[in-house]
Amino acid sequence: MALKHAGALAVSLALALATLSGLHALWEDTIHNNRLNYEQELVNEALQNTPYDNDIISTRQSILVVFPTATINVVWKAVYKNQLTAVVVKAVAQGYGGDIIFIIAYNLRGERLGARIVQHRETPGIGDFLHSRGGALRAIDGVSSATITSNAVADAAADIADWVRDNTVMLFN
Q: pTM of the entire structure?
A: 0.76
When divided into structural domains, the chain yields a total of 1
> Does residue 49 or residue 150 have the better pLDDT?
49
* Strand order through the sheet with 83-94: 61-66, 70-80, 83-94, 99-107, 112-119
Vertex 102: Cα angle to 99 and 103 (nearest 5): 155
Question: Could you read off the pLDDT of 52-77 as tens digits, one per residue?
Answer: 999 999 999 999 999 999 999 999 99
Q: What is the mean pLDDT of residues 109-121?
A: 85
Q: Give 142's pLDDT tier (boundaries 50, 70, 90).
A: very low
Domain that residue 92 falls in: 1-173
Q: CA 158, CA 154: separation in Å to the nearest integer?
A: 6
Partners of residue 52 on adjacent β-strands: none
